[in-house]
Structure 1
Amino acid sequence: MTVTAVRPASRPAVAPTRAARGRRRVPLWLAVPAIGSLLVTGAYPAVAGIALAVTDSSLARPLREFAGFDNFVAAAESVAFGGSLVRSTLFAVLATLLAVLAGVTGALALHARGGRFGLLGAVLLLPMVTPPVSVGVAWKLLLAPVGGGLTGLWGALGIAGFNPLGTGAGAFTTLVLIHAWQWAPLVLLLVYAALLGVPAELWEAAALDGAGWWRTLRSVVGPVVAPTVVAAAVLQLVIAFKVFDLVAVVTAGGPGVATIVAGFEVFRTAFRGSFEVGTAAAETIVLGLLVGLVLAAAGLVTRRADG
């Protein structure tokens, strides 16, 4: 006699109840505040900027009549704006390189102390949390050729009366150094946090294998921290392209046009002289496109380096 095993009947699939579906689905109304804030802070300024860029607009009479691409043509033909784009790009690249180099070096030095951020780390973050206007005023007073805080230093170095803001190249270089000094702490903070995320096992394995400091940094720590360094560099590029406060306070674009970057030139177009708000809006859009192209090029270079 053969006994055949009887499989238990499978339970029919039970459709989820309405209460269960409700628990899995986030109510749409919870997203209303976020959507509203995005519309107010993002969509509205973007639409308003485009509207100003394609109309004949001044500070007193915006949106007078449709102008098509006339404002963009005026921006393209402007020698002052074209030069400011070149200076902005050079400023952003140099300031980013310096800030990333200083920030990574500072993060490695702090981490070498045993992973303690401590009071020294908090002091190093002070430039980043100081308003840019205050930073500009402080450095302008320090760099004043007469009665400035660094006048004694110049005298001790045998260059009494030295004025780093007196020449175009000197003023531009000084602004790059001040901007990098102010924002290097941001890179330091991000990279330091990434270093804390490196597993202790990796450090121990490198030490057991006899890897030196540079080999450990390049082969063990580098791959873990590299994405954070790239993200910090992208942030620095955007911040450097947006610089305005520092230029307005320290040099006001001078001497001559040596430190007139794109953001400051847009300000001059909109709020000085003929108050051409429409042209200024077109210049802003062109500047945004330039920043996008630079970031895209940086991303392409990074992907090729990773590959």
Structure 2
Amino acid sequence: MRSMTLWRYLTLSPTLLLFLLLTVLPLASLFALSVHEVEWRERVAHWDWVGLSNYTRLLKDTLFTAGIVNTLIFAVAAVSFQMVLGFWLALLTLRVTRGQLVYRTIFILPILVPGIIIGAIWKLMYSYDFGVINQVLMFLGLTPQDWLGSSSLALWSVIVVDVWHWTPFCFLLLLAGLQSLPEDIYEASRLDGATGWRELRYITLPLMMPSIIVTFLFRMILAFKVFDEVYLLTGGGPGTSTEVISFTIYRRFFTEDQAGYGAAMSVATFAVIALAIASVSRIMRRKDSEADS
């Protein structure tokens, strides 16, 4: 038994070492950078200790505050729509008896399109002068809108693109969860006279709750890291209406050459995401314990 335990540790050690090299060390380096300011003198990087001053700057940075608020709005709104649409499409696909493969292929097409192509397509569709969306509005006798140039519409326009792009991800995970549910429970409920709505409310949703929580958690993590859609469609504008935290960090690091301050933003963002993951995991464990009891 002891030799088997030793063998397991030996076989896992290369993977653990690789994980440490690729994850823990970069995080430690990022934290070390966050308490320094980097200046290039004579083509050599000089790290000057500044302590926690980079973190105190975050509280006064209006761009960082706007990025946090917009990211929260973006993540909650986009993921909520994606979960509802993905679950609805999964339910519809599960009940289709013929052509399931065709429907699944159609539903997952958006997630296969590269981000640069998505940005180009939707920027053309949102165009004020010749975009197809405004052409449809004018055909219906409505006023065209500046979807990406209006501070009140820009963020929601980006959310629409993200919903279109990532709903297939939720659809696939939730469909896999639905297909794993035991059929005998539904047969027993039908014998008892349960309708489709009652089956959904009292059987499907409780049984699917672990899959729903895991899918929601995965999508929230990805939504917090949104960058390409904002970069390609609005560039954070107009003003700060679509400024998200990833784009703010990009500004500080690469356009303003504030590596230490950008690292502090990254550490703070990582802490917020880790706290969100821990909170959702705690809620999931509590619901599992309540279900078991």
Fold similarity call, TM over 0.5: yes
**Residue-by-residue CA offset, 1:56-114 (whole Å, 9 max, x unaligned):** 12577645122111111122221111121111111111111111111111111111113
* Counterpart selection for 1:51 from 32, 40, 48: 32
Q: Note the 1:253-272 alignment, pairs <5 A.
A: 253-272=236-255
Distance (Å, rounded) in 1 between the aligned partners of 2:66 and 2:281: 25
Q: Note the 1:229-240 alignment, pairs <5 A.
A: 229-240=212-223
* Counterpart selection for 1:290 from 272, 276, 292: 272
Identical-pair percentage: 26
Distance (Å, rounded) in 2 between the aligned partners of 1:25 and 1:115: 52
**Residue-by-residue CA offset, 1:4-50 (whole Å, 9 max, x unaligned):** xxxxxxxxxxxx8xxxx656753544334412331232012101111
| Corresponding position: 1:201 with 2:169 | no
Q: Secondary structure at the match of 1:77?
A: coil
Equivalence for 2:16: 35
Q: Secondary structure at the match of 1:65?
A: strand
**Residue-by-residue CA offset, 1:122-167 (whole Å, 9 max, x unaligned):** 1211212222232222111111112223343122222354321121
Distance (Å, rounded) in 1 between the aligned partners of 2:201 and 2:39: 55
Structure 1 residues 89 and 58: alpha-carbon distance in aligned structure 2, compared to 1, 3 A threshold: farther
- Residue segments in structure 1 that go unaligned for 5+ positions in a row: 1-15
**Residue-by-residue CA offset, 1:177-226 (whole Å, 9 max, x unaligned):** 21122111111111111111111111211111110011111212222211
Q: Note the 1:147-186 alignment, pairs <5 A.
A: 147-159=130-142, 161-186=144-169
**Residues 154-163 or 174-183, more deviating:** 154-163
Specify the structure having the higher radius of gyration (Cα): 1
Structure 1 residues 105 and 62: alpha-carbon distance in aligned structure 2, compared to 1, 3 A threshold: farther
CA contact (8 A) 1:52 1:63 kept: no
Distance (Å, rounded) in 1 between the aligned partners of 2:213 and 2:46: 41
Equivalence for 2:226: 243
Equivalence for 1:72: 55
Equivalence for 1:110: 93
Give the TM-score, by structure 2 length: 0.89
Q: Secondary structure at the match of 2:236?
A: coil
Equivalence for 2:194: 211
Equivalence for 1:26: 7
Higher helix share: 2
- Residue segments in structure 2 that go unaligned for 5+ positions in a row: none
Give the aligned residue type for 1:290: V
Give the aligned residue type for 1:85: I
Distance (Å, rounded) in 2 between the aligned partners of 1:266 and 1:256: 16
Aligned length: 287
Distance (Å, rounded) in 2 between the aligned partners of 1:24 and 1:286: 38
Distance (Å, rounded) in 2 between the aligned partners of 1:129 and 1:48: 34
Structure 1 residues 159 and 40: alpha-carbon distance in aligned structure 2, compared to 1, 3 A threshold: farther
Distance (Å, rounded) in 2 between the aligned partners of 1:45 and 1:169: 38
Equivalence for 1:89: 72
Q: What value does the CA root-mean-square deviation take over the aligned residues?
A: 2.3
